[in-house]
């Protein structure tokens, strides 16, 4: 194996640095919109991990045109592709469903739906904040392997929870044979818990509650990173405004 073959691909390194997604990186490289150490890069190029990578103006412009949407997902919609007769959440992104309180200086365009994908799951029987994005940087921030962005939930439950059970919800449970990261869980009121997680396994909160003898009656996500669901009405959406960040 040659020395260069052991080096990372440019697209992988760009994604790891949070410049864009790997798919976007390949597109930009193919168009000649990326320079490495001052030279225009070619597709499939392998580079040193400390290489100087520059996105040209065309790539930066393409990124600025990509939108991120915050949706208050109702129960009965799936986060991703349509399944079992249920509509995907993206079907709610219609101009008439845009929240009147949206302050982002964007006019809705059909192009904003192209490649729009959920950055994280919200179960069909759950409601609350769902992020849909065209931007690979946002997706990496929220669902990348090393993402530590907090997600906060209000969870209405039935059953008795001991002090030991509450302690286990905070730290000490495992799912799918793997220990869960420490969480923050406390009573919000008599029948509702507040969960703050830094990971998102499938149906994680419902399965955690099962393990300590609780049944989930309702689940609502109210925060992702720095952004709150706030006054966004159920079934409506808004754009991520300039200057807003999740981390």
**Active-site annotation, residues:** 123
- The three-state DSSP-derived secondary structure of 179-239 is ECCCCEEEEEECCEEEEEECCCCCCHHHHHHHHCCCEEEEEEEEEECCEECCCCCCCCEEE
3-state DSSP assignment of residue 35: strand
- CA angle at 17 for the pair 10 and 69, rounded to the nearest 5°: 110
Task: Give the Cα separation of 247 and 245 in Å (integer).
Answer: 6
| CA-CA-CA-CA dihedral for 196, 201, 206, 209, to nearest 10 | -70
Q: φ and ψ at 162, to 5 degrees?
A: -80, 170
């Amino acid at each position: 194996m040659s020395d260069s073959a052991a080096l990372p691909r440019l697209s992988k390194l760009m994604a790891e640095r949070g410049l864009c997604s790997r798919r976007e990186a390949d597109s930009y490289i193919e168009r000649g919109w990326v320079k490495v150490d001052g030279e225009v890069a070619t597709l499939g190029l392998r580079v040193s991990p400390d290489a100087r990578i520059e996105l040209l103006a065309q790539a930066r412009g393409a990124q600025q045109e990509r939108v991120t949407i915050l949706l208050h997902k109702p129960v009965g919609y799936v986060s991703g592709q349509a399944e079992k007769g249920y509509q995907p959440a993206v079907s709610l992104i219609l101009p008439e469903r845009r929240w009147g309180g949206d302050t982002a200086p964007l006019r809705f365009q059909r192009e904003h739906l192209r490649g729009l994908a959920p950055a994280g799951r919200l179960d069909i029987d759950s409601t609350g904040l769902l992020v849909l994005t065209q931007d690979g940087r946002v997706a990496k921030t929220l669902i990348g392997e090393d993402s530590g962005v907090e997600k906060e939930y209000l969870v209405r439950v039935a059953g008795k929870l001991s002090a030991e059970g509450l302690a286990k919800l905070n730290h000490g449970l495992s799912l799918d044979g793997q220990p869960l990261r420490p969480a923050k869980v406390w009573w919000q009121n008599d029948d509702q818990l507040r969960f703050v997680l830094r990971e998102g396994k499938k149906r994680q909160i419902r399965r955690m509650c099962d393990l300590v003898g609780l049944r989930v009656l309702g689940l609502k996500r109210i925060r992702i990173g720095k952004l709150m669901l706030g006054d966004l009405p159920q079934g409506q959406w808004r754009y991520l405004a300039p200057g807003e960040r999740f981390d």
